[in-house]
Structure 1
Amino acid sequence: MKFFIAFAVLIAGISAVPHHDAHSIDFSDERVVAEAIEEAIEGVSQSIRDAGLDPFHIKREDFSYALPVPELFKLDAYIDEVLSTGLSNIKINRLYYSSLFTRLQFDLEMPLIHFSLGGAKSDVVLFNHDLGVSASGSVDVERIRVVGEIDLYIGIITGVTVQKVDISFTLNDIKSDANLVIFGEDYSDDFNNYVGGVVPDTIKAHYNEINELFEIVITDILKENL
């Protein structure tokens, strides 16, 4: 989801970057338009880093809580070495603006988003029953890619308007290598099969709907900013 938001914002970057104003950009100058978009992409990446989301790291956190009568409820838990990387790594494979056709073509990708958990465990006492949960492992989201074209119309009176937006979103794979034990039962295989199988298969089965959503969101953002 963060990638979806970041991508929509950077497409509107012609007007969003601090060094440019959409109405002052010379759309006949291909270099200026391309540089404005590159600045927007880097601005999004820097904002993600500045927010502490890449890398995101929690060395260790401990939690504990108990009711005055701990036999009714008591919790002791910790999480250790939580790490997320790759959210700000937006790679430009191709970026081209044609002043003749007033068309922007782009090919962007996030090569790898990595999530890992060194360990997490909770020991819960609920009405004298011991309920424990433990987890560890990693999830890798491989190569989120967005290829597209945006056709603009530049009128003397109307200014810059959006004519057409075509988007092609693809996901290479999601790999899950996690260990999950709940109340003494090992759900590791179920979790890995779901995250590494069901989730990417479902995304791929709905490419058309995802692309349509991208096109609607990007068109609305551009209309508001150009």
Structure 2
Amino acid sequence: MKTFIAFACLIASISAVPHDGAVAKDGNNERIVTGPIVDAIDELSQSIKDAGLDPFYIKREDKWFTLPVASIFNYAAFVEEILSTGLSDIKVNNLYFSFITSRLYFDFELPRVELAVGIAAGRAIVFSNEFEGKVSGKVVVDKVRIAGTGRVTVGIISGITVHSGDVDFTLGGIQSDFEVIIQGRDYSQEVNTFLSSTIPATIEAHTEEINELLEIVLLEHVRDQLYS
């Protein structure tokens, strides 16, 4: 989802392209279209860093809550040494606009996003029933990539118009190495299999639908930005 939002921001940046005089003056300059997108990538990357999301680090954090009658509900939990990296590392593999074909070619990628959990543990009592669990380990998401083309025209009066687009979303893979213990039972294999195998396989099996959804949502978003 974060990747999708980031990509939407990049494409929406086309709406910031100068119109009228600027288009007339630089009508054959592809940077009229690609320049604002490159700037948006830099701004988005920096805003992620400024928000403390890359790197995202928690040395230790504790939470707890108890009702006046503790046997009905209470809990205590903590996380320690949480580190996430790579979310702002947006790479531009290809970005080119052809005035001859009125095509914008793009290829954006997050090479590697990693989340490491030193330990996260919790214990709760619900109507005198005790529940507890703990998690540690890491997950790595490789090569989240969105590429494709868009049909874009640039006019002196009309400015920039986006007519259609083709999007290809791919995921290089997910490597999961978590230890998950709940109520004394080891669920590590189930969790790691779900993250490393089930999610990538599901995405691959529904590639056509995912691409279609991205095309519809992104095109509507860009048009809203251009004509608002």
| Structure 1 length-normalised TM | 0.90
Residue pairs, 1:179-190, within 5 angstroms: 179-190=179-190
Superposed CA offset, 1:103-160 (max 9, x none): 1111111001111111011122344443211111111111011111111134455443
Residue pairs, 1:44-83, within 5 angstroms: 44-83=44-83
> Please, what is the CA RMSD of the aligned residues?
1.9
Residue 193 (structure 1) aligns with: 193
Q: How many residues align?
A: 223
Q: Quickly say closer, same or farther: Cα 1:70–1:102, change in 2 above 3 A.
A: same
Q: Is the 8 A contact 2:19 2:160 kept in 1?
A: no
Q: Quickly say closer, same or farther: Cα 1:126–1:160, change in 2 above 3 A.
A: closer
Matched, 1:175 2:172: no
Q: Quickly say closer, same or farther: Cα 1:161–1:67, change in 2 above 3 A.
A: closer
Matched, 1:213 2:213: yes
Superposed CA offset, 1:176-218 (max 9, x none): 1101111111111111111111111101111111111111122
What letter matches 2:166 in structure 1? Answer: D
Q: Quickly say closer, same or farther: Cα 1:67–1:152, change in 2 above 3 A.
A: closer
Q: Distance between the aligned counterparts of 1:196 and 1:82, measured in 2? A: 20
Residue 29 (structure 2) aligns with: 29
Q: Which stretches in structure 2 are left out of the alignment for 5+ residues?
A: none
Q: Quickly say closer, same or farther: Cα 1:22–1:88, change in 2 above 3 A.
A: farther
Q: Is the 8 A contact 1:13 1:41 kept in 2?
A: no
Q: Which range moved further: 84-93 or 66-75?
A: 66-75
Residue pairs, 1:102-181, within 5 angstroms: 102-155=102-155, 158-181=158-181
Q: Which range moved further: 136-145 or 29-38?
A: 29-38
Q: Distance between the aligned counterparts of 2:74 and 2:147, measured in 1? A: 51
Q: Is the 8 A contact 2:87 2:110 kept in 1?
A: yes
Q: Distance between the aligned counterparts of 1:130 and 1:73, measured in 2? A: 10
| Structure 2 length-normalised TM | 0.89
Q: Quickly say closer, same or farther: Cα 1:22–1:184, change in 2 above 3 A.
A: farther
Q: Which range moved further: 65-74 or 3-12?
A: 65-74
Q: Which range moved further: 68-77 or 173-182?
A: 68-77
Percent identity of paired positions between Structure 1 and Structure 2: 46
Q: Which stretches in structure 1 are left out of the alignment for 5+ residues?
A: none
Q: Distance between the aligned counterparts of 2:129 and 2:8, measured in 1? A: 48
Q: Distance between the aligned counterparts of 2:128 and 2:163, measured in 1? A: 66
What letter matches 1:134 in structure 2? Answer: K
**3-state SS in 1 of match to 2:219:** helix
Q: Distance between the aligned counterparts of 1:69 and 1:219, measured in 2? A: 54
What letter matches 1:121 in structure 2? Answer: A
What letter matches 1:44 in structure 2? Answer: L
